[in-house]
């Protein structure tokens, strides 16, 4: 008798497991970012070997001068499930941007999202760095919440 009461729940769980897989963001909007504001970034800033320890930890920055850019970096592990993915979506609402993954320049985007094609083997299971150069349209407070998702 107990089994019959549980049968609808078991059927519901089985059906839910057949749905499209939910992707975990590789970089989420709440993840820690290292940021630098200025006209130009230091040489090699997009590389996965660059030391960003002196950069501020912030997701919100303030631009005082027209023409300043925001340079942001996030370190992340993709895990074995996502290593080798060839296409990712980058969601960013802070302005026009150019993205780099592990030092390789990817396509950019403008005010929103971009679907980025990755060269084979660029996305690793661990030790990845997403670097983003953002060129906001105005001065003032900029909120950075990049999200990188596998497609």
58-73 pLDDT, tens digit per residue, is 877 888 888 888 898 9
What mean pLDDT is reported for the chain?
Answer: 77
Pick the more confident residue, 55 or 65.
Answer: 55
As given in the structure block, the two tokens for residue 69 are: 């850019």
Looking up tokens 């027209």 gives 66
Stated pTM of the model: 0.77
pLDDT value at residue 3: 42
Q: Which secondary structure element, helix H or strand E, spans residue 8, and what is its range? A: helix 2-17
Please state the domain extents for the chain: 22-150
| Stretch 139-148: mean pLDDT | 73
User: Which percentage of the chain shows pLDDT scores above 90?
Assistant: 25
Q: Would you state the pLDDT for residue 111? A: 65
pLDDT at 8: 39
CATH number for the region 22-150 comes to 2.60.120.260
Let me know: does 27 contact 131? Beta carbons within 8 Å: no
pLDDT at 47: 94
Q: With bands split at pLDDT 50, 70 and 90, how would you rate the model's confidence at 137?
A: confident
CA distances in angstroms from 7 to 2, 11, 53, 99, listed in the order given = 9, 6, 55, 49
Contact call for residues 45 and 73 (beta carbons, < 8 A): yes
- Condensed to tens digits (0 to 9), the pLDDT of residues 87-127 reads 888 877 667 788 899 999 987 777 666 788 888 889 999 99
């Amino acid at each position: 008798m107990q089994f019959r009461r549980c049968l609808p729940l078991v059927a519901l769980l089985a059906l839910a497991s057949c749905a499209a897989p939910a992707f975990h963001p590789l970089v989420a909007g709440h993840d820690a970012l290292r940021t630098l504001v200025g006209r130009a970034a230091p040489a090699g800033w997009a590389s996965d070997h660059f030391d960003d320890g002196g950069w501020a930890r912030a997701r919100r920055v303030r631009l005082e001068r027209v023409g300043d850019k925001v340079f942001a970096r996030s370190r992340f592990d993709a895990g074995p499930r996502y290593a080798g993915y060839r296409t990712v979506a980058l969601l960013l609402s802070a302005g026009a941007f150019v993205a780099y993954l592990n030092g390789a320049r990817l396509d950019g985007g403008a005010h929103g999202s971009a679907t980025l094609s990755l060269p084979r083997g660029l996305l690793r299971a661990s030790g990845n760095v997403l670097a983003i150069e953002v060129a906001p349209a105005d001065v003032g407070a900029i909120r950075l919440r990049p999200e990188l998702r596998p497609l």
